[in-house]
Structure formats: structure tokens, C-alpha cells
A and B are shown apart, each in its own frame.
Chain A
Amino acid sequence: MAPNYLDNWRTFVADYLGQVNIGADDMRRLGVDVGGTHTDLVLVDDATGEIVLNKLPTSVGDPSVATVEGALELCAKAGIGLADVGYFMHGTTVATNIVLERNGARVGMLTTEGFRDIIHIARHKRPYNFSIQQDLPWQKHPLVRRRDRLTVPERIGAPGGDVLRPLDEEAVRTAARRLRGSGVEAVAIGFMFSFLNPAHERRAAEIVREELPEVFLSVSHEVIPQYREYERFTTTCLNAYIGPKTGRYLNNLADALRRNGLETELHLMQSAGGSATVQGAVRRPVTLLMSGPVAGLIGGIWIGRQAGFPSVITLDVGGTSADIGVAPDGGMRVKHLLDTRIGDYQAMVPMADVDTIGAGGGSIAFLDAGGVFRVGPRSAGAQPGPACYGRGGTEPTSTDCQLVLGRLNPGNFLGGRTRLDTAAARAAIARALCGPLRMGLEEAALGAIRILTHSMVQAIELNSVRKGYDPRDFALVAFGGGGPLFACDIARELSIPTVIVPPNPGLTSALGLLATDTAYDFSRTELARASRLDPAVLAAHYADLEEQAAAQLRADGIAPAAMVFQRVADCRYVGQGYEIRTVVPDGAVDVGTGPAIVSAFHAAHQREFGRHFTDKDVEIVNIRVVGIGRNVPLRLRELPHGDGRVSPVAMRDVAWETADGGWVWMPTPVYDRTTLRCGDILPGPAVVEQPDSTFPLPPGLSASVDRHGSLIVDLRNTAEKPS
């Protein structure tokens, strides 16, 4: 079957059905997702489909400690040793946190004479329009300080890449020595137009290597060989900034795992999905910046596919934020390279199109200075936490509101590890909301939930409707501890017909780590009109990129039979400045390739902007090859069939929203997730409890349990909210 997992805006999320078998069906695979609060681990036995889970607090100082400890615990649970693990995949926020906490390396930079301050000026646009008191993050916290940004005479010309001014090698050497004197740990090299001709950058890198053999080196044409000097330079500097520390962490972790018996290589989840080896990630740590959220997206896509719903919207709600992804036909969309940023910095590297918004269990509900009812993005976090945690929090949070509405069980939250104080939640809501808004308790709590729900709805709309995707064609996969709490409300709001709650909502991201292939993205700026393409040149360039990708996959130990290459061209109408990722057909690159690219681009433009222009010439800006190494498909073990009879473990009163925007308290059965069997059907209203999450099922809906244990809610043809 021909590989066909890529159309416009989509990339390579694993489509395993009917795919090649790389011959290791009995492999045990381990995924570790290290988050801010918890380290989640999943072990999958491909032979049996058995899955073993583990969750422990993240070790704050050095996250590798909990990773190793958790992995050993997990193996012990499964009765194996680390040596029996055939594939080890890691999702990490280490690189992200260095950026957010601003504790990266001291970096030196070499750049073209006359352009010392490109990363200081940025795009000369300030974040806020209506402000004279704002800071410019890139000036207040520069990745490289001006004293460490040194210029050397050299210049490459456009558009041919000719040498206009030869590289002054002595100046490079002098600058390198000066940086050595300053004690930099990393050096970034960014020369103008190096994407057209990298000779000067290459030579400068050699000289720096001679003078400072120990430093981390980040060279712009290697990090991201694309045009736009600010974005390329700042990405290169960011790579240098996080390089030494990320490298140390990854090497330490790999060593520690090896010492404890791991024989296979450690793999890392990249920002656009796909895995990289430690070696690759150490060189380009900038590709790890979205390593965390992307695993959730992939996990959600995979869960959807298992349940028979390829097109999914994923909702991963944690304590402070919600990650939202839209995946049409199971394909993950990749952000445009002008929209990819981390914290305050632009990072021109492929990133999955996951939106993070400040809406989670800890989001605080309050009245602003103008008397408007708002929820989030400020969060009570884990400390002091929601008022109901009883750890000193006094402001009402989303969790407090869910609790007073009866949706959370005060005695069985996080598996009973945290007792919730309902009276404290009530008092906080009454004080902060009910009084000033002249609202009752339920009205205020429901109002806060509606506002939070709406911000998630808006984020989904921005990523679906705006891109031409109709939410009615999707299933909503809700996970993370908080996702299931909002799932049915969001689905109703957007007319999404199906809600899926995975078997272990809190461990879906870790599972996602094992549902991805190894993948690398190699690109170059091409700039050619599609109508004047020289097929021979294009074929040679694609072949070159494919060879680079193949070499990297070979280095990862991937068999040729398991390699797949996808060609992409970033295109625009001549004169436009914004490219759209366009699929290039497989097979020989010949005279038919240009017209095929053009028609694919027209279709993509129509979808993105609602218009296209067949009379205008199309231009290719960048070409890229995504090299994929197929991994073994992940299989879940199936649940035994139940007899259809489910019995609640308890009854409690829960407030449900009514059709007129009010609410009604209803006695509601409570179910224990672990007792559910395939084929069981739960009528709403119901609350399903499990250690890592709670799922409220409103009246009028019903949920069925599928063969892998996911809860499926069909919202079509069901009654509206109770009246």
C-alpha cells in the first residue's frame, strides 16, 4: 500500500495499518513523558499488547533521576529488566524550561560585518500596540549579549549565492579568541545569505572549532537553512543557548540508563512529532522545544484511530493550561515557520500545530477592575492550589467550581491522595463571585465553567473553522486530568458529534510517545517559479535531501525497508510572502512535477484563504524531505466483553446545566472506571471516576465502552439539555 499520510498542512503521524513490518514484533517499548509535576511512564509489550503504567513526581533538580527511577520501577512491575526494553522514547521539557526560566548558556555570536544587532532589533515590531511601558523580551533578556556578538568581514550575494566579499579568516580567529577570553560555553555563527551558500559559515565553524574545541557550536545553515535573517539567527542563537545544558542532560540520562542496563538507544520526541536520537537532538536541541505537548496530540490521534475515528480534535487539560490540537484524517498539522515561537523567542523550526491556552484546573475566577467576570489565565498552580486543596489558596478556581457542582468526589480525587474541602470551595466562590455578581453559588460556578469552556471552544474554532475544517467531521478526544470534565460541554457548543475519553486520560501523552515514527525534516531554500522549473535540478536537490535523511535514519539503525520519504514544497503565488506547505507527488521528479505542485497549491490556498487564482504564477520557496523510519504499530489489548449490566458504586447529587442556561440538581450514579467492560453502556447523567481523572456525563447522553476501554459518547440524535 502506497504511503499516503501527507497532504497539505499535514505530516507523518503514524499510519500503521497494513504497513511494513520491521521484524521486531516481540519488542518491549517504553515511553517517558516528563512534565512539570509528574513523570508518566508507559511500557508496552508488542507481543502481548500488555501495557504497564507508572506515575511519580518529577524530580525537580534533575529530571533524569525520576526518569531512571520510574523506568526501573516500571520494569520491576512488568517483571523484566531495562535490558529487555527494545525501544526507549522520551518526551522532555528540559529544553523548553531553559528558555522559560532563562538559565541557558553564555553564548558568543559571529555575524556579518554591518549586522551586529539583527537579533536585538528583531522585526522592529513591539508586542503591545498601546503601551509605552512595555519591555522587549529579546532586548531585556538577549540570547547573546552585544559584547559577545562580534562581526567579521564577509558577504554572500543574492540571489546567486556569489561571494561578494571573501571571509576574513584572521578576523574570525581573533573574534574566536576574544570569545574564549569571555568564557562563552557556546558559539552561534550566522552570516547573511548563508542559506544560498554556506561556504563562509563552514569555514568560520572550522576556525572556531580549532580555537574553542570544547564549545557547543550552532551554525545557521545547519540549524535552519532558510531565508529571513532575524528568524534564522535567533533560532541559531536559541539552539546555542539551550545546547550545552540540554546536551549534558541527555548524555547524563543516556549514561544512567545504560548503567542500569538499557542496551537500546534513547530516542527523543521532536516538536513536530517523530523521534530523534540523542546524537541528533544534542546537535539541534531547538527541535525539542515542543516535545511535551506534541506527545499528547499524537496520543490523542492514536486513541481516536483505535476507536475508529481518524479525524480528531485533541484536548489535553492540566493544572494551568490546556493544549488543543486539530488533526484532520489523523494527520498532524505543522505550524508555519513564522508562527513558531517558544516563550518570548522566535524558533524557526517545525512545530506541531498545538495551541496552548491558560485554562486548567487551577485557573482562577475573578472580577476584573471593570467588573467583568473572567477566568484565567492566572492559575493557582499546585501551590497554593485551588481553595478546596486547603493549602492556603483563597481564590476560587475551576476545580473549586467543579467540586461545588458535585462533579468531583471530595474523597476520591487523584485516587484519594488529595482530600477536597467543599466548604472552602463554597466560601471562596461566595466571597469572590456571588457577592459582587449578585449570583447564587451554582450560577457563579456554572458561569466560571462556561467561560473556561468558551475559551477552549474559541481556541478550537481558531484551529478548525478558520482553517476550513468543520468540527462536525471530528471526534473530540479529551484527556489529561481535566480534559474529560469539559468534553461534553465543548462538543455540544461546537456540534462535535463524538467524545472519546481514553482508558487512562492522565497517561495519554506518555502513550503518544510510543505511537510515533522516527522522523527528520531536511529542507533548503529553492526559490523558483513552478512554470520555469528545471526538473533535473529539482530532482537532484530532492535526491540530495533524501540522501541526508536516509543517512540520518541509517545512523539510527533503521532498516531500509522501514524508511519512507515524503517530499514537500513550500509554495506561494509570485509576490506573496507567506508560503503554504504543499505535497509533492512520489515517484520520479520530471516535467509533470511542476504542474502537480501547482494544482496542489491552488487547492491548499483555497482551503487556507477561501480564494485561489489559477491565472497567477506559483513560486516554490523551500523544498523539504521528511525522512520517516517506521516503528512497530502499537496495539492495545482488548477488554473482555461485559454482560451489559453496569452497577454504580455510589449515588450523589450533581448540578447539571439546563437548556435555558440554569441548572438542576439530580441524583447521579457514580461508576468506577476499572469495573467497566467492553460493550457496557452508561446512561447519563453519570460520573465516571478513576485515579487520574473524572468524567461527568450529562443527562440525555449515553456513553459506551469500546474494546480498548475508551468511553465513546455519541452526541447525535440525543436529547438536548434537560429543561
Chain B
Amino acid sequence: MIDPVLAARLDRHFGAGKWRADLGVEDALGGAPRVKATVSAAGRSETVTVDYRADGAASTLQAAGGRAIGICAEALLRDGSPSAGGVEDYAYDRIDPVTLRVLGGAFNAVAGEMAHVLYRMSYSSIIRESEDLGCGIFDVNGRELCESQNSPMHIGSLPFYIRGFMQRLAGDIHEGDVIIHNHPYFGSSHTPDMCVAVPIFHDGTLIGFAASTAHLLDVGGAAPGINVDVVDIFAEAKLFNAIKLYERGRRNEQVWQFYRDNVRTPEMNCSDIEAMIAAVNQGRDRFLRLVDRYGLAVVMGAANYWMDYSERRLRREIERIPDGEYRAEGWLDDDGKNWGKRLKVVVTVRVSGSDLEIDLTGSAEQTPTAFNVPFEGGLLVACYYIVRTLLLDEAEQDDFVPQNDGMFRPVKVTAPRGSIFNPTFPRACTSRFAQLQRVIDLFIQALAPVLPHKATGGNSASVMAISYSGFDEAARQYWMCVEVNEGSYGARSTKDGLDSVDNLLANTRNVPIEEIEMHYPLRGERYELRPDPPAAGKWRGGIGVVRANRFLVDGYISCSGDRHFEAPAGVFGGHDGLPGAMARNPGQADMEIWPSKVTGRRMAAGDLVQFVGPSGGGYGPPVERDPGLVLADWEDDLLTLEMARDVYRVVIDPAKGAVDTAATARLRADAAT
């Protein structure tokens, strides 16, 4: 239960056996159970009670217990040197509304500035072009005050990283420390998403953390880049659990050296980590300026206010959903090794008043590959994301509702231990994006009957990440390019789905082809909308992309995606979309159709790989589509005359380039009878 490193420190501090830790579970009436921990030593004792949000299975109990013990031990070890309380300890009722507003804006500005430094200064294209990163400020317990608006997969994962590294470092945090952490069984989102954090001290008191996560290129796994088909967590990456790159301001060169020696892209990774350090230092300094100016109590009080505010806004929307249980299910392709063995995803949504639970019970068991989802840094983030997105859609709000800890409070998430959504150590779990996207898509489908105006047709709900790499004999080092391919959206109740754009939990930027070819031995041969017609409907689904890249030298490729089999669903009479596909050398004699996950395949110079993204589902019956829109899609080469006639019941006169209104009316009247 107690982390061995922490235990050793307690032993050193108080003497072996001179301290004790106790743990209990409190069943809160009507709420989630809570873990209560007490650590006593030297005549003092510290007690803390923490939430845990899972189903009570032992692995999460363990995690919550470890966290609670860590917090107590920290207080004891600190031996009088103070740490500020959590943000919820600060009242805001005496802060005037203007200061609240001012500080609300300032929190966002701090997070935004941190991200700006990171993506402008970083090296790897996945950070600087794709912005696969997150930055924010957190209280001593890891509660999120603010986080930058980059890729949503990162937003909300940092609190778990902080609680994860505090299990080991509680009481051992000093001014000038720089901490790295990527252990998925201690809160990380997955191993490539490295966290860099610095503590924030004010007048000698620890008041919180400035932290960032970003996707690093190669993480020292079995194959270069992405690793799906691996046996355990040790084969997917080098693990960093609460490691200090700097200790009290002194650079720990040995750690840096170890790191350089054990990844394939040391220059890129270390430079990116330097950029992350610059970003968190910036965040710390900016936050301290706020504290100097307004005082700690006011700043923390305002943060507490905005958390309550966001919670209140979200609860009000949950209350509008009829109480009840809603359900949807679907199938994932496979685990990246056992081809043809589909994996079930079952999403059950329970709404009761202003509380909402997402229950993954009934979903597939954990897999023997890395196609598993870290519970905290992965599943919780996705669930928080979609509840907020569906109910408080940013594009439909007049005002800005900040994303912070308050958004997480009304949502409970359940996944049985040992399932694909709550794997057990030492299962590998780096390939988790596709499962999360499907949870989100199924959540939308589950609630579509009661929220028809908020729901969409099925989304592409996948991400195809591809790592291209090779060893440059002349330079004696690897080159590596990671590409995050886009998806498409299902149609909405009043408009078509979005074409070729990052879907749901993904929101990165593509890497320009003119950037790739200046630096890597690759050539882009195609990047445009896939030629297949979009899913029909009153509103049509979004169109996926087709992208083809050729290797100019021998190298390796890995990829992690899904949705080659089950198409995004049409809703309310709309047609289903199209699944994705991947092939090597399409149209050639040596063509190979690939599954959605491959690990460390060799590519010869001249080989081409082509990715085709899924197209989203339609919304409403096609015969209700405005004929003018059908004509426009035909003019834009998105569908044929025959499809217009047979599916939409719209007759187009190709010579005139116009809808034959009379013929269309006749055809649609026939269809109605």
C-alpha cells in the first residue's frame, strides 16, 4: 500500500518501525466511497480523507490509499515547514466580483502563456506543429486551477500525474526541484506523455505546482516510436516515477545522461524537456506575481470560486437530462496482435439529479498487448471531456466556462479492474486513444434519444498515429517523424459533419508536408478528401482524409489506430459512415492491406503507405435533405448523379447544372408513398 521509497524516507526520518500508517474506507451516504488514511509518528498524527472515483476495485483503492498516505506522510515529514492547504480551504465569499473576474482571466492567461512558450520553443514536430501538449497550475493536492487549451487528451490528466509523483515525493519537495514523471500506474496518461513539474513556493510555503505534459518522440520501447504489440509496460517505454531532473536547483546530470542513453531520439527529447522546463518556470513566475499582487488567500479563493462556478454550470445541464440509464455498445478492431478478435465496448450512462455516472462494465477484458487504457490519466480524462463537451458546448455558450476541477466533480466513472479500461500492472497501455474515442462516441449515441439536438451521427472516433523512422548510418542516429492523422465528424441536427479534422479528444495540428520533406527521407504523394461519397442524411456526415507517404530510404513504421471494421453509425434515419483503411503499396503487385495497428514493420526505400480516415455518420433521412445542398455536393465532386437520384431522390440536370425541381418533387412524392 505504501510506496517503498516513501517508506524508506519515513524510516530515515523517524527511525525504522517508529511510524505507522492506517487505511480505512468510509462509505459516504449517497456519494462515492472515500479512503481515510492516518500516518502517526513521534507523537503526532495526520489524517486525510480522499475521494476515489472508481468502482471500489482494489487497484483504484490502492491508488487512492497510496495518495492519502502520501499526503499525510508529507505533512509529518515536513516537520513544521508549512504547505498551504488545498484550494477548497480558501473562502471566496468576501472577494469582490470584479477581482474574481480579473483573476479568472489571469489564470487562463497564465496557462496560455505556458503553452505558448512550450510549442514555440520545442523541437519535435509533434509538440511544435501538432501541439500535442498541456500546461497548467495546480494546488498542493493536484487540483486543477487552470489548464491550456491545446489537445483535450492532455486537459485534466495532469492532476493525476501530480498525485502520482506525490506518492513518492510527499515531504521531499523543495524550491528549485524539477520533476519528471510518466508512470501510467501512478497517474500518467501514457508513457510517451511526459510530465515536467516545478513546485511553487511562496514565503517558504509550498502552494502548488506548475506542470506540463507533452508527447515525446521515442521513449525507449521495444520498437522505434509507437509500440502496440509488446508484452508489458517495460517493453513499451522507459519509466520515470517521480524523478528529479533538478534537485534544489542543481542539475542531476546522471539522470539526463541515463535518459539520453536509453531513447532513440535523445537530442529531440532533451530539447523538448528543456522547452517544458522553460514553460513551467514561466507559469510559476506568472502565478507568483498574481500571489504577490492579490495575496494568497484571494488568489486561491478565486480559484475555488471558479471551480464551484464550473461545477454549478455543469450540474445545471445534467439536471436537464431525464433521470435514467442509457446504453450503447460497439466493437473495436483488435488488440494489435490477435487479429480478428473484436473487442467490445459497452457504455452505460446513469443520470440521477445533477450526478452522472459512466460505467464501462461489460467491456472487453484487458489485452495482452499495449491496447489498454490507464484508468486515471486516460479514461477519466475522456469521460470528463465528453460530459462537458456535450452539455456545455463551447461554440454554443455566450460566455467562457473555464475547464477546471469543478467540471470533474459531478462525474463518476466506473470500470472493472482487469478490463481494457482499468488494466493491472504490468500490462502495457500506451495505445489507448482509440478506445477512449469510442467511449466518447458511444456516450453521445447513448444519450442521442434524449438529447437529439445535442447529439451527432457517429464520429470517426479514432486517431491514427503513425511513427516513421529509420537509422541514419552516416549520422549514427535515428530519425523519427510522428504523424497524428485526422478523422471526421458525424452530422449534427442542423448541419453537416465536419470533414477531415481532428475528432473529439484529439485536436492537434498536422505537420506540413513542406516541413516533413525538408527534414525527413519521406515524400507526401497525396493529402486530400477520400473519394468515397459522404454518409447520406438530411445532414451528411463528414468526409475522411486520404494520405499517402513514400519512404525514400529503408526504415520502420508503427501505427496505432482503430475503426477499420465498424463504420460510424448514422442516427435518426441517416446512413452509416465508412470505416478507415491502411495499405502498403496500394494498387501494386506487392500490395498489403494492413490492420489498424502495426508495430515496428520494416519498410524498403520506395515503399508507400496509404491511410484512409473513417467518414462520419449521417443525421436524419436523406430524402429530407435540401436539394440545393445535394446539387452543391455533386458540383463539388462528392457524389454522383445516380446517388443523388437513388439515395436523396434529387434529380440533377447535369447540362444545366441545376436541380430538376419538378422531377425531384415527383421522385420524393413516390418515395413518401
Give chain A's interface residues, CB within 8 Å of chain B.
114-118, 120-126, 128-136, 139, 145-147, 157-159, 192-193, 195, 227-231, 368-370, 372-374, 437, 447, 450-451, 454-455, 458, 461-462, 466, 527, 573, 575-578, 608-611, 613, 616, 661
Chain A: minimal CB distance from B594 (Å): 20
Given the known interface contacts A129-B155, A575-B268, the answer about A227 and B101 at a Cβ–Cβ threshold of 8 Å is no
CB distance A128 to B394 under 8 Å?
yes
Query: B486 is contacted by which of A121, A372, A451 (Cβ under 8 Å)?
Result: A121
Chain B residues lying within 8 Å of A450, measured Cβ to Cβ, are 98, 102
Task: List 24 interface pairs A-B (beta carbons < 8 Å), by A numbering.
Answer: A116-B528, A117-B528, A118-B528, A120-B499, A121-B501, A122-B501, A126-B501, A130-B385, A130-B394, A131-B389, A131-B394, A132-B492, A133-B454, A158-B518, A192-B513, A228-B515, A368-B399, A369-B313, A370-B401, A437-B97, A451-B101, A454-B102, A609-B275, A611-B274
Chain A residues lying within 8 Å of B489, measured Cβ to Cβ, are 132
B23 within 8 A of A: no
CB distance A458 to B105 under 8 Å?
yes
Given the known interface contacts A117-B529, A158-B517, the answer about A139 and B498 at a Cβ–Cβ threshold of 8 Å is yes
Q: In this complex, what residue of A is CB-closest to B486?
A: A124
A540-B234 Cα distance, complex, nearest whole Å: 54
Interface string of B482-508 (1 = CB under 8 A from A): 000010010010010011111010011
CB distance A123 to B510 under 8 Å?
yes
Query: How many residues of B are in contact with the other chain, CB < 8 A?
Result: 90
* Supplied contacts A133-B396, A447-B96, 13 more A-B pairs, CB within 8 Å: A118-B527, A129-B151, A130-B388, A130-B393, A145-B635, A145-B636, A227-B514, A373-B97, A462-B109, A573-B123, A575-B271, A578-B128, A610-B278
CB distance A611 to B278 under 8 Å?
yes
B398 within 8 A of A: yes
Which of B114-122, B375-383, B559-567 contacts its partner? B114-122
Query: B528 is contacted by which of A114, A125, A193 (Cβ under 8 Å)?
Result: A114
A401-B278 Cα distance, complex, nearest whole Å: 42
A607-B296 Cα distance, complex, nearest whole Å: 29
CB distance A608 to B499 under 8 Å?
no
Chain A residues lying within 8 Å of B444, measured Cβ to Cβ, are 132
Query: Which of A128, A129, A135, A227 has the most B CB atoms < 10 Å from its CB?
Result: A129
CB distance B98 to A447 under 8 Å?
yes
Chain A: minimal CB distance from B416 (Å): 28
Which 4 A-B residue pairings sit nearest by Cβ, starting from the closest? Answer: A134-B395, A158-B517, A146-B636, A577-B128
Given the known interface contacts A114-B527, A227-B512, A576-B123, the answer about A125 and B128 at a Cβ–Cβ threshold of 8 Å is no
Chain B: minimal CB distance from A376 (Å): 11
Chain B residues lying within 8 Å of A454, measured Cβ to Cβ, are 98, 101-102, 105
CB distance B106 to A116 under 8 Å?
no
A125-B128 Cα distance, complex, nearest whole Å: 13
CB distance A125 to B636 under 8 Å?
no
Query: B152 is contacted by which of A130, A158, A527 (Cβ under 8 Å)?
Result: A130
Chain A residues lying within 8 Å of B395, measured Cβ to Cβ, are 128, 131, 133-135
Chain B residues lying within 8 Å of A133, measured Cβ to Cβ, are 393, 395-396, 454, 492
Chain A residues lying within 8 Å of B98, measured Cβ to Cβ, are 373, 447, 450-451, 454
Chain B residues lying within 8 Å of A231, measured Cβ to Cβ, are 512
Given the known interface contacts A121-B486, A609-B117, the answer about A132 and B517 at a Cβ–Cβ threshold of 8 Å is no
Chain A: minimal CB distance from B61 (Å): 31
Chain B residues lying within 8 Å of A461, measured Cβ to Cβ, are 109
Chain B residues lying within 8 Å of A577, measured Cβ to Cβ, are 122-123, 125, 128-129, 515
Interface string of B100-113 (1 = CB under 8 A from A): 11101110010001
Chain B: minimal CB distance from A231 (Å): 8
Chain B: minimal CB distance from A102 (Å): 16
CB distance B510 to A609 under 8 Å?
no
Chain B residues lying within 8 Å of A117, measured Cβ to Cβ, are 500, 527-529
CB distance A193 to B514 under 8 Å?
yes
Given the known interface contacts A115-B528, A159-B517, the answer about A121 and B545 at a Cβ–Cβ threshold of 8 Å is yes
Chain A: minimal CB distance from B287 (Å): 13
A576-B121 Cα distance, complex, nearest whole Å: 7
CB distance B394 to A373 under 8 Å?
no
CB distance B121 to A578 under 8 Å?
yes
Chain A residues lying within 8 Å of B638, measured Cβ to Cβ, are 146
Query: A228 is contacted by which of B456, B459, B514, B526 (Cβ under 8 Å)?
Result: B514
Chain B: minimal CB distance from A168 (Å): 16
CB distance A369 to B309 under 8 Å?
no
Chain A residues lying within 8 Å of B123, measured Cβ to Cβ, are 573, 575-577
Give chain B's interface residues, CB within 8 Å of chain A.
96-98, 100-102, 104-106, 109, 113, 116-117, 119-125, 128-129, 131, 149, 151-152, 155, 267-268, 271, 274-275, 277-278, 281-282, 309, 312-313, 385, 388-390, 392-399, 401, 403, 444, 454, 456, 459, 486, 489, 492, 495, 498-502, 504, 507-510, 512-515, 517-518, 523-529, 545, 548, 635-638
A43-B499 Cα distance, complex, nearest whole Å: 52
A537-B281 Cα distance, complex, nearest whole Å: 41
Given the known interface contacts A230-B512, A577-B125, A609-B278, the answer about A129 and B97 at a Cβ–Cβ threshold of 8 Å is no
Q: In this complex, what residue of B is CB-closest to A194?
A: B514
Given the known interface contacts A146-B638, A372-B101, the answer about A125 and B518 at a Cβ–Cβ threshold of 8 Å is no
Query: B512 is contacted by which of A132, A228, A661 (Cβ under 8 Å)?
Result: A228
A76-B393 Cα distance, complex, nearest whole Å: 57
CB distance A573 to B271 under 8 Å?
yes
Chain A: minimal CB distance from B16 (Å): 43
Q: In this complex, what residue of A is CB-closest to B96?
A: A661
Q: In this complex, what residue of B is CB-closest to A226?
A: B514
A131-B385 Cα distance, complex, nearest whole Å: 10
Chain B residues lying within 8 Å of A159, measured Cβ to Cβ, are 517-518
CB distance A157 to B545 under 8 Å?
no
A575-B126 Cα distance, complex, nearest whole Å: 12
A458-B289 Cα distance, complex, nearest whole Å: 13
Chain A residues lying within 8 Å of B121, measured Cβ to Cβ, are 576, 578, 608-609, 611
Chain A: minimal CB distance from B388 (Å): 6
Query: Which of A228, A573, A576, A609 has the most B CB atoms < 10 Å from its CB?
Result: A609
Query: B498 is contacted by which of A126, A228, A610, A661 (Cβ under 8 Å)?
Result: A126
Chain A residues lying within 8 Å of B389, measured Cβ to Cβ, are 129-132
Chain A residues lying within 8 Å of B524, measured Cβ to Cβ, are 114, 192
Chain A residues lying within 8 Å of B117, measured Cβ to Cβ, are 609-610
CB distance A466 to B113 under 8 Å?
yes
Given the known interface contacts A114-B526, A610-B278, the answer about A374 and B101 at a Cβ–Cβ threshold of 8 Å is yes
CB distance A373 to B101 under 8 Å?
yes
Q: In this complex, what residue of A is CB-closest to B489?
A: A132
A231-B509 Cα distance, complex, nearest whole Å: 13
Chain B: minimal CB distance from A133 (Å): 5
CB distance B527 to A125 under 8 Å?
no
Chain B: minimal CB distance from A344 (Å): 13
A577-B123 Cα distance, complex, nearest whole Å: 6
A368-B122 Cα distance, complex, nearest whole Å: 38
Chain B: minimal CB distance from A490 (Å): 13
Chain A: minimal CB distance from B633 (Å): 9
CB distance B393 to A132 under 8 Å?
yes
A517-B309 Cα distance, complex, nearest whole Å: 51
A135-B495 Cα distance, complex, nearest whole Å: 9
Query: Which of A121, A195, A228, A373 has the most B CB atoms < 10 Å from its CB?
Result: A121
CB distance B105 to A455 under 8 Å?
yes
CB distance A131 to B486 under 8 Å?
no
A685-B500 Cα distance, complex, nearest whole Å: 60
A325-B599 Cα distance, complex, nearest whole Å: 51
A133-B496 Cα distance, complex, nearest whole Å: 10
Chain A residues lying within 8 Å of B102, measured Cβ to Cβ, are 450-451, 454
Chain A residues lying within 8 Å of B526, measured Cβ to Cβ, are 114-115
A125-B130 Cα distance, complex, nearest whole Å: 9
A127-B109 Cα distance, complex, nearest whole Å: 17
Chain B: minimal CB distance from A201 (Å): 14
CB distance B152 to A129 under 8 Å?
yes
Q: In this complex, what residue of A is CB-closest to B494?
A: A133
A368-B313 Cα distance, complex, nearest whole Å: 11
Query: A372 is contacted by which of B399, B508, B635 (Cβ under 8 Å)?
Result: B399
